[in-house]
């Protein structure tokens, strides 16, 4: 029996996408009043959780994705991943931005998926200056825009530098930090990757005069699908779920985690999906307003004298969130 890693690297995925595109186009014609305009700033192509988060975002009717931009360098690689995923999902109406070319040492673990993809042929708009696209999208929006940031936020810091007024017209929701809990439930806080890699950029984002909400490791490090929940995604014929699993297979192989045949077991930790959820609801998380200071070595420490932000420190209903994630990713099965 062929693995899904092989099956969905074939033309079957394209056929699923073509079928699904018509449904998506029809859905997009419905009334959009009340939806939250969002920008997705992501280091997609490093850890696989960004890909899961993008799929979840595209399936959230509460959110209206206006722009997707690659963060943390490898700019064209990330733009290609975003563009191809959006095209497969039937969402080439979403513009893609090429982010800042920083941190050239980052990995390209999903490169095999886009090795033959021509970014110039993306049916939608591709902005060569992704930072300016962030600024323009916010400043031209008739509604406040929510920036969902799930990377080291170099793009966001540069956007704030170029045009500080964006903070008056937007909100920030990020997957950043470690407030009371470290990786793996450790009681010692950690310098979380997105903060540690660019602490000055995170300082800029957290202290800008906009509403800031974060999911630190305290909550986002607890998300991993196993058992029946994972199998529903793994075995789904939904084009978004299938694209996620294909990329997961390629990512796992490139990372050297053994044969992609091990992928059927469970997901990795899906940190970034929680930030997508917090962009439209906080019902299932325990939220606290805390003074958070970002140190120069990448720690996010509680400090009553620091600027206060909203922090998801606990879960009220983790199971309900996982069920929602699975249901939406497999909605087109």
Pairwise CA distance, residues 98 & 121, whole Å: 15
CATH code of 48's domain: 3.90.245.10
What residue numbers bound the domain in which 115 lies?
Answer: 4-329
Residue 263's pLDDT is: 84
213 touches 278 (CB < 8 A): yes
Higher pLDDT, 328 or 332: 328
First to last CA, the chain: 21
pLDDT of residue 8: 47
Percent of the chain with pLDDT over 90: 84
* Per-residue pLDDT, 16: 47
Mean pLDDT (whole number) for 86-99: 98
Question: Could you give the CA distance from residue 241 to residue 225 in angstroms, rounded to a whole number?
Answer: 13
> Percent of the chain, pLDDT > 70?
88
Tokens describing residue 146 = 């929510």
DSSP string, 175-226: ----SS--GGG-SS----HHHHT-HHHHHHHHHSSSEEEE--HHHHTT----
Residue 311: beta bridge partners?
214, 288
pLDDT at 19: 45
Alpha helix positions (H), the chain: 4-7, 11-28, 49-58, 75-88, 111-114, 130-140, 154-162, 193-196, 199-207, 217-220, 227-234, 239-255, 271-278, 318-329
Note the pLDDT tens digit of each residue in 223-277: 999 999 999 999 999 999 999 999 999 999 998 765 555 688 899 999 999 999 9
Express each pLDDT in 138-190 by its tens digit.
999 999 999 999 999 999 999 999 999 999 999 999 999 999 999 999 999 99
Residue 12: the pLDDT is: 45
State pLDDT tens for residues 106-130: 889 999 999 999 999 999 999 999 9
Q: What is the torsional sign of CA 159, 162, 167, 168? A: negative
Mean pLDDT of the chain, nearest integer: 91
User: Quick check: 169 and 201 in contact, CB under 8 A?
Assistant: no
For residue 7, the model assigns a pLDDT of 47
pTM score, whole prediction: 0.91
Confidence of residue 104 (pLDDT cuts 50, 70, 90): confident
Question: Which residue from 280, 250, 281 is spatially nearest to 263, judged by alpha carbons?
Answer: 250
Task: Say what angle helices 75-88 and 11-28 make with each other, to 10 degrees.
Answer: 70
Q: Which SS3 state, helix, strand or coil, does residue 283 take?
A: coil
Q: What is the pLDDT of residues 30-40, one digit of tens each?
A: 445 689 999 99
Name all contacts of 277-280 with Cβ < 8 Å and 24+ positions apart: 277/56, 277/321, 277/324, 277/325, 278/173, 278/213, 278/215, 278/312, 279/36, 279/38, 279/60, 279/62, 279/63, 279/146, 279/148, 279/173, 280/36, 280/60, 280/62, 280/63
**Total structural domains within the chain:** 1
Quick one: which H or E segment has residue 286?
A: strand 285-294
What was the pLDDT predicted at 261? 54
Report yes or no: 300 and 179 within 8 Å, Cβ to Cβ: yes
User: CA-CA distance, 75 to 158, in Å (whole number)?
Assistant: 15
Report CA torsion sign: 225, 253, 256, 261.
positive
């Amino acid at each position: 029996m062929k693995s899904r890693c092989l099956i969905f690297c074939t033309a079957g995925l394209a056929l699923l996408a073509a079928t699904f595109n018509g449904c998506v186009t029809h859905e997009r014609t419905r009334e959009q009043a009340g939806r939250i305009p969002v920008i997705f700033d992501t280091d997609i192509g490093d850890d696989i959780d960004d890909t899961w988060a993008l799929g979840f975002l595209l399936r959230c009717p509460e959110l209206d994705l206006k722009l997707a931009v690659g963060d943390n360098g490898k700019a064209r690689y990330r733009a290609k991943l975003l563009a191809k995923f959006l095209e497969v999902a039937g969402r080439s109406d979403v513009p893609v931005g090429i982010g800042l070319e920083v941190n050239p040492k980052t990995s390209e673990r999903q490169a095999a998926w886009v090795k033959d993809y021509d970014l110039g042929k993306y049916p939608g708009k591709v902005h060569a200056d992704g930072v300016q696209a962030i600024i323009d999208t916010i400043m031209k929006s008739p509604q406040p825009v929510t920036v969902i940031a799930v990377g080291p936020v170099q793009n966001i810091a540069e956007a704030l530098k170029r045009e500080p007024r964006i903070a008056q017209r937007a909100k920030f929701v990020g997957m950043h930090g470690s407030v009371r809990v470290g990786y793996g439930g450790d009681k010692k806080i950690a310098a979380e990757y997105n903060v540690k890699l660019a602490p000055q950029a995170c300082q800029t984002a957290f202290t800008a005069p906009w509403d800031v909400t974060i999911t630190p490791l305290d909550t986002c490090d607890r998300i991993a699908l196993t058992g029946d929940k994972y199998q529903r995604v793994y075995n789904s014929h939904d084009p978004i779920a299938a694209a996620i699993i294909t990329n997961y297979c390629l990512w796992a192989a490139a990372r050297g985690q053994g044969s992609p045949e091990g992928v059927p077991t469970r997901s990795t930790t899906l940190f970034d999906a929680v930030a997508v959820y917090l962009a439209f609801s906080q019902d299932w998380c325990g939220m606290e307003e805390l003074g958070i200071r970002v140190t120069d070595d990448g720690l996010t420490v509680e400090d009553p004298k620091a600027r206060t932000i909203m922090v998801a420190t606990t879960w009220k209903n983790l199971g309900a969130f996982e069920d929602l994630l699975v249901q939406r990713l497999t909605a087109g099965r």
